[in-house]
Each structure stands twice: as C-alpha cells, then as structure tokens.
Amino acid sequence: MSCKISLRLKFLLIFIISGCGETKYLLTSDAPPILEGFYGFRWTTPMSIVDEEFPKRTGATLIDSLNRYNTSNFSEAYFLGEESSLCWFGFNESGLISVNILLNTDYQSFEKKLYSLKEKLSTVYGEPLEFIGNPYDRESPEYISQHQWVNGRLNLTLLLDYKVEINAYSFVPNLGIHN
C-alpha cells in the first residue's frame, strides 16, 4: 500500500517538474516589477519562447528580415494601450536582457503618447528622473527628453525625430550590473 502511494507521489512530482518548465518564463502582467522582467516575460526567458508566445499574447507580427541570432523583432504590438511600430527583444546566452519599443509619432502627435505613457509607467514604477537634451557633455543632443526609472533600467525617451522610445534592461545600463 505505501509502495503504491510512494510511486504515485514520485510520478506526480516528475509530472509537475516536467510539465511546468516554460511557465516560469511568462508573467501575467505586461508591466511587472522591472527586476523580475518586462512586457510579460522574465529576464531569463529564452528567445524561442518569446518568438512563440509574444505574437499569441499581443497579436504582433514577427519581422523575420530584421532578426539576428540574438534578437527578435515584431511590429504592431500594443504596450499599455499604445501600438508600437517596432518591438525589439535582445538576448544573450542566459536569455532576455533588453526590450526596445518604438512608437511612430511626429511633432503634432508625440505629446499625447509621451505623457500618457509617462503617467502609466509612473503608476507602476513611481516618479521618474527627467533629463532634457543630453545628460552627457556632447555637442549635439541624442534626444529631446528622457524619463528614467530604477537607475536607468527603464527609459521613456522623446527622440530628435519626435518618435517615442521605451527601453527596458535586465541590468543597469551605465554600469552593466545584472540582477
């Protein structure tokens, strides 16, 4: 009798371990704590899972022509209610390390999207640091304005061509410090 129970318990344990392998990479929210992950994926998520799950979850279209051995590119993905023109996922040998979202706007339409995204991100991540122009001593600025959360691990940037860009990293970008 106890042998049957022991055998069933072992079988159940093996089933649980082998059956739940991929779910640890998926998050239930597209705006989780930045230390955990971003856009519904944990920072260690392999490229194959992002390629398979991201279109299912967001309706995004894979852009094969832009993909490289360590990147996945998508168009028409939604983030916090806004449609992106490009969504880029970067990977290394340990899995997902960065996400870049680009929203096409122009000088007439950038303001609404920029401030809407800033408000939504601030609700999740707190008040950002704001930079105007370029925080470094260079002759020409790299952007018009930038909002940073969590030591620069999440950035919302208004680029010089009035496009809005969001970058999220598994590490502190200027220091290269990983979790």
Whether 162 maps to a domain, the answer reads yes
Structural domain of 108: 25-178
* Window from 6-15, 42-51, 152-161 with minimum mean pLDDT: 6-15
Residue 101 has which token pair?
A: 């979202």
How many structural domains comprise the chain?
Answer: 1
Q: Is residue 9 part of a domain?
A: no
Residue 18 falls inside a structural domain: no
Dist CA 75 CA 73 (whole Å): 7
Q: What is the pLDDT of residues 91-142, one digit of tens each?
A: 999 999 999 999 999 889 899 999 999 999 999 999 999 988 755 666 677 8
| Domain assignment present for 64 | yes
The answer to whether 103 and 85 have CB atoms below 8 angstroms apart is yes
Residues 89/97, Cβ–Cβ less than 8 Å: no
Q: CB–CB of 118/133 below 8 Å?
A: no
pLDDT at 135: 55
Q: For residue 91, list its beta bridge partners.
A: 96
176 pLDDT higher than 70:
no
pLDDT > 90: percent of the chain: 60
6-10, 23-27, 64-68, 169-173: least confident range: 6-10
Q: Is 138 helix (H, G, I), strand (E, B) or coil?
A: coil
For residue 2, being part of any structural domain is answered with no
The residues facing 148 across adjacent strands are 129, 155
Per DSSP, the residues of 146-171 read EEEETTTTEEEEEETTS-EEEEEESE
Residues in the chain: 179
**Is 102 within the bounds of a domain?**
yes
Please check whether residue 7 lies inside any domain of the structure. Answer: no
Asked if residue 17 is part of any domain, the answer here is: no
* Structural tokens at position 169: 């990293």
